[in-house]
C-alpha cells in the first residue's frame, strides 16, 4: 500500500493507523501548492479531489477521505484491534466519533489555515473550535484513557491529528487539562512518534 500525504495535515491520521496496524507500506509526499508528488506525478490523476490523504491499495484501487481510509486499514488488519467489528453498537459509537471529528472539529479549523479568511471569520472559528474541544474535554473527564474507553482506536489517531492543530493556530490548551494529557498520551505512542518523525514533524 502507498499513502499520499502532506506533513502535519489530516493525512497524519492514516499514517499513524498504518503504523499501529504493523503492516508494510510506503509514503509519498504531496506538495499541496503545486499538487505534484515528490516523484513528480500529477496528484490530481491519483485523487481528482486534489487533496490528501489518498491510499493506493493492492490492485491499484485508490481510497480517499481519511475516515474511510482508517476504517479500511482497521478492518484489513483486525488483529491490531483498532476498531470494533461491523454491526456492533461499539462500531456505531466509533463511527459517531469519526463523523463528529470530521464534520465538527476538522472543518472548524479550516478558516484558521485559510490566508484569505477575515479576522472576523478566524475569531468565529476559534469560538467554534473551542466549543468542540469543550465536548471532548467533558468526554475525557471521566478518566478514560482513549476516546472510546480503555482501548486505543482509529478515532484516537484522527482526534490526535486534528486537536494538535491547536499548536500552529495558537489556541492554548490551558482550559482543557484532560485533552492536554490525552494528547501527550497519544503522542507518546511509538507508532505516533514514528509517523511524526517520518513526516519531519518531530526530531528522530
How far is Cα 32 from Cα 67, in angstroms, rounded to an integer? 20
* Domain identity same for 19 and 97: no
pLDDT (0 to 100) of residue 137: 98
Q: How many CB atoms lie within 10 A of CB 174?
A: 7
pTM assigned to the model: 0.96
Q: For residue range 11-60, what is the model confidence (pLDDT) as tens digits?
A: 999 999 999 999 999 999 999 889 999 999 999 999 999 999 999 999 99
pLDDT (0 to 100) of residue 40: 96
* Domain identity same for 134 and 63: no
CATH of the domain at 116: 1.20.1050.10
* Domain identity same for 48 and 67: yes
* Domain identity same for 75 and 144: no
| All cell numbers assigned to 133 | 474541544
pLDDT (0 to 100) of residue 204: 80
User: Domain containing 124: what range?
Assistant: 89-189
How far is Cα 130 from Cα 114, in angstroms, rounded to an integer? 18
Domain total in the chain: 2
102: CB partners within 8 A, 6+ apart? 66, 67, 158
pLDDT (0 to 100) of residue 180: 98
In a domain, 204, yes or no: no
For Cα atoms 20, 92, 74, give the angle at the middle one, nearest 5 degrees.
20
Strand arrangement of the beta sheet that strand 54-56 belongs to: 36-37, 26-31, 2-5, 54-56, 62-64
* Domain identity same for 101 and 73: no
Q: What is the mean pLDDT of residues 118-133?
A: 98
How far is Cα 34 from Cα 68, in angstroms, rounded to an integer? 25
Q: For residue range 138-185, what is the model confidence (pLDDT) as tens digits?
A: 999 999 999 999 999 999 999 999 999 999 999 999 999 999 999 999
Amino acid at each position: 500500500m502507498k499513502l499520499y500525504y502532506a506533513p502535519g495535515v489530516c493525512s497524519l491520521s492514516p499514517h499513524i493507523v498504518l503504523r499501529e496496524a504493523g503492516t508494510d507500506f510506503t509514503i509519498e509526499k504531496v506538495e499541496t501548492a503545486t499538487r505534484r508528488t515528490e516523484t513528480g506525478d500529477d496528484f490530481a490523476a491519483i485523487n481528482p479531489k486534489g487533496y490528501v490523504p489518498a491510499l493506493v491499495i493492492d490492485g491499484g484501487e485508490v481510497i480517499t477521505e481519511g475516515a474511510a481510509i482508517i476504517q479500511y486499514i482497521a478492518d484489513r488488519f483486525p488483529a491490531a484491534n483498532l476498531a470494533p467489528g461491523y454491526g456492533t453498537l461499539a462500531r456505531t459509537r466509533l463511527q459517531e466519533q469519526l463523523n463528529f471529528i470530521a464534520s465538527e472539529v476538522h472543518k472548524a479549523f479550516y478558516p484558521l489555515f485559510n490566508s484569505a479568511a477575515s479576522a472576523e471569520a478566524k475569531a468565529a472559528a476559534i469560538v467554534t473550535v473551542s466549543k468542540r474541544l469543550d465536548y471532548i474535554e467533558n468526554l475525557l473527564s471521566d478518566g478514560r484513557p482513549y476516546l472510546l474507553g480503555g482501548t486505543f482506536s482509529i478515532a484516537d489517531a484522527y482526534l490526535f491529528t486534528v486537536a494538535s492543530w491547536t499548536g500552529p493556530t495558537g489556541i492554548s490548551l490551558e482550559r482543557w487539562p484532560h485533552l492536554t494529557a490525552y494528547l501527550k498520551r497519544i503522542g507518546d505512542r511509538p507508532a505516533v512518534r514514528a509517523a511524526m518523525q517520518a513526516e519531519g514533524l518531530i526530531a528522530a
